[in-house]
Chains A and B, each alone.
Chain A
Amino acid sequence: MSSDLLTITGLGVEIAGLPVLSEVSLALPSHGVLGLVGETGSGKSLTCRALMGLLPRIGGKVSDGSITFDGTTLTGLDESGWARVRGRQIGFVPQASLNALDPVMTVGEQLREAVSHLDSGAEVKARCLELLELVRLPQPQEVLRRYPHELSGGMRQRVMIALALAGRPRLLVADEPTTALDVTVQKAILEVFADLRTSTGMSLLLVTHDLGVVVDVADSVAVMYGGTVVEFGSAREVMTNPSHPYTAALLGARPATRTLGERLTTIPGVPAVPGQWPDGCRFAPRCAFARDECRAVQPALLAVDEHRARACHGWLGTSEEAVVHV
């Protein structure tokens, strides 16, 4: 579709010959917010790395499919090609970024470095202040003089987001940006993202393992399991009426959906090990509804209706079966 800023089609990634991602497909429209959800090891961060052209650094490569950003194919770019995209077209807030700031440089020094490198036309000092204001840091003048250890976790995360915005990207990729933060701080950071979308018109790809975060900020959601996308569609639709048993199980695992004394839904077994995928549907060994077909043939991501697609051979989820109370 021409209106989509980012399109990933059938992406496959290998590390040392092991297929770690396969058939990853998703789309993100301009000004849209897409949530990428799944458990540890589901391939969320690898998808981000592929999107940032950072696979070679961990010995990985794209083996299949394509990534298209604003009509340009990113897969197959050389390092100098990626350098024009990274930071300038697509900004990145990496996981565990609370410890990613340089401890011996002030916030101001780090921001100035990023701005002068990525945004050559800008008046550096004014732009640094503007960036800190964009992420709603109070007293930006004061923050510029501070070292990372003098800032709280929430403030450091805001600085990391400001750094990612230095090159005026049109898409921001944020990998678990609120995972280590308190709920109140998390909410404030999510509000920053919502504001940025309005003030800069950029798109956001938000990676998280918490479905609650997705429904608060994202328009659409891609649920990953076993290195592939199992469900994709409108956030509200997917969250209130999941069409894939894995999505349903994830929703049932949230304590907010249960009352005192009622057991949470758990998923039996352990997540599939990257590269050692089971035959057929990757979720089949843990799925209560798996049939012979599921264990033999990997289902493709197909449209269920106009709002979403799923990769499942035919779980006819009734809300009762899915035990989702929201």
Chain B
Amino acid sequence: MSEVLLEVVDAEFRYARGLPPAATGINLQVRPGDSVGIVGESGSGKTTVGRGLVGSLFPSSGSVLVQGRGWKGVRRRDPVRRIVQMVFQDPYASLNPMLSAQATVAEVIRVWDGAKPSVAASRAEQVLAEVGLTGEVIRRRPALLSGGQRQRVGIARALACEPQVLVADEPTSALDVSVQANVLNLLLDLKASRGLALVLISHDLSVVDYLTDRALVMLNGEVVEHGDTHTLLQNPSHEYTKTLISSIPGSSLANA
């Protein structure tokens, strides 16, 4: 067994004391190259778990460990933060509107590696090329980029930290099906070329099925089913999973 990069042990997450937990009883291990899906509807707690994984929310009980360390007490510039990086749902809202694609990625490299601006700029160019953005496009601000290009910038920004785990929260929900295909292919390529582990949060079972080996199905803050993604979809044991599967658009076509 390879080392565990990220481990969640019986974690519970609350946004305030007195409120019911937003997620509870969460257990998860992520090893290098793993690909894990977290599925559920709005309000099921899947984004809460994502926030717990990247350390922007601490568990109220249980633990989230990155290479064996809890997030609490990790300083802002602690290198352990590089290990887990996040890609957000809305690429427009999560990019600085005043920075070009290149400057967005270069900023990360400057801050984390203390690289000179010129060095950071040329490294940013390499990372952007890795996600398929080259030429004058990288000097554009978000407003002049298409939805798919923006999401590529978001992915490049995460990659600039040289992470080992990428947590992607609904990375393609805001995109057209044809653009989604490009981004999903890119994530698949990056997994292979960088040996990245991927945690994919999505309400779309077809995306999760396409990209992950294991999946958790969440409902009302709890994991109702988990296991091998394909088996889980072929042979769901929980009623809710069955509902989700029957809701995939076009399922009538697939069964035809």
* A-to-B contact residues, CB < 8 Å: 39-40, 152-153, 182-187, 209-213, 215-216, 236, 239-240, 249-250, 252-256, 258-261, 263-267, 270, 326
Contact = CB atoms under 8 A, between A and B. Distances in A.
B41 A212 contact: no
9 contacts: A211-B177, A212-B253, A216-B250, A240-B253, A240-B256, A254-B206, A256-B248, A256-B254, A326-B253
Interface residues of B, number: 38
Interface string B118-162: 000000000000000000000000000011000000000000000
B236 to A, nearest CB: 14
A240 B254 CA distance: 10
Nearest to B43: A152
A82 to B, nearest CB: 31
Given A184-B244, A255-B181, 14 more contacts: A40-B176, A153-B42, A183-B205, A184-B41, A184-B247, A216-B252, A249-B178, A250-B178, A253-B178, A254-B250, A255-B184, A256-B206, A256-B209, A326-B256
B220 to A, nearest CB: 13
Contact of B249 (A152, A186, A253, A258): A186
B230 A260 contact: yes
B180 interface: yes
A307 B213 CA distance: 41
A220 B177 CA distance: 20
A296 to B, nearest CB: 26
A253 B248 CA distance: 15
B7 to A, nearest CB: 24
Interface in B194-250: 203-207, 209-213, 229-230, 243-244, 246-250
A215 B181 contact: no
Given A255-B209, A260-B210, A183 B176 contact: no
A185 to B, nearest CB: 7
Interface string B31-54: 000000000011000000000000
A187 to B, nearest CB: 4
A253 B180 contact: yes
A306 B230 CA distance: 40
A240 to B, nearest CB: 7
Contacts of A184: 41, 243-244, 247
B203 A265 contact: no
B19 to A, nearest CB: 18
A214 to B, nearest CB: 8
Nearest to A208: B249
B148 to A, nearest CB: 9
Nearest to A270: B146
A183 B204 contact: yes
Contacts of A152: 42
Q: Which 8 pairs show the lowest CB-CB distances between chains A and B?
A: A212-B250, A212-B249, A253-B181, A255-B210, A256-B206, A264-B181, A187-B247, A183-B247
A30 to B, nearest CB: 24
B247 A239 contact: no
Given A209-B177, A249-B178, A264-B181, A182 B210 contact: no
Interface string B60-77: 000000000000000000
Contacts of A40: 147, 176
A226 B249 CA distance: 25
Given A253-B177, A253-B178, A255-B207, A264 B184 contact: yes
A105 B203 CA distance: 31
A250 B177 contact: yes
Contacts of B96: none
- Scoring A153, A211, A213, A216 by chain B CB atoms within 10 A of each residue's CB, the highest score goes to A216
A183 B181 contact: no
B209 A260 contact: yes
A184 B251 CA distance: 13
Given A209-B176, A216-B249, A270-B146, A182 B41 contact: yes
Contacts of B41: 182-185
Given A40-B147, A260-B213, A239 B253 contact: yes
Contacts of A212: 248-251, 253
A264 B203 CA distance: 19
Given A209-B176, A260-B213, A187 B250 contact: no
B250 A211 contact: yes
Given A183-B203, A253-B180, A213 B250 contact: yes
Contacts of B42: 152-153, 182
B146 to A, nearest CB: 7
Contacts of A39: 176-179
- Scoring B176, B205, B206, B244 by chain A CB atoms within 10 A of each residue's CB, the highest score goes to B176
A199 to B, nearest CB: 21
Contacts of B249: 183, 186-187, 210, 212-213, 215-216
B188 A261 contact: yes
A249 B181 CA distance: 10
A264 B207 CA distance: 11
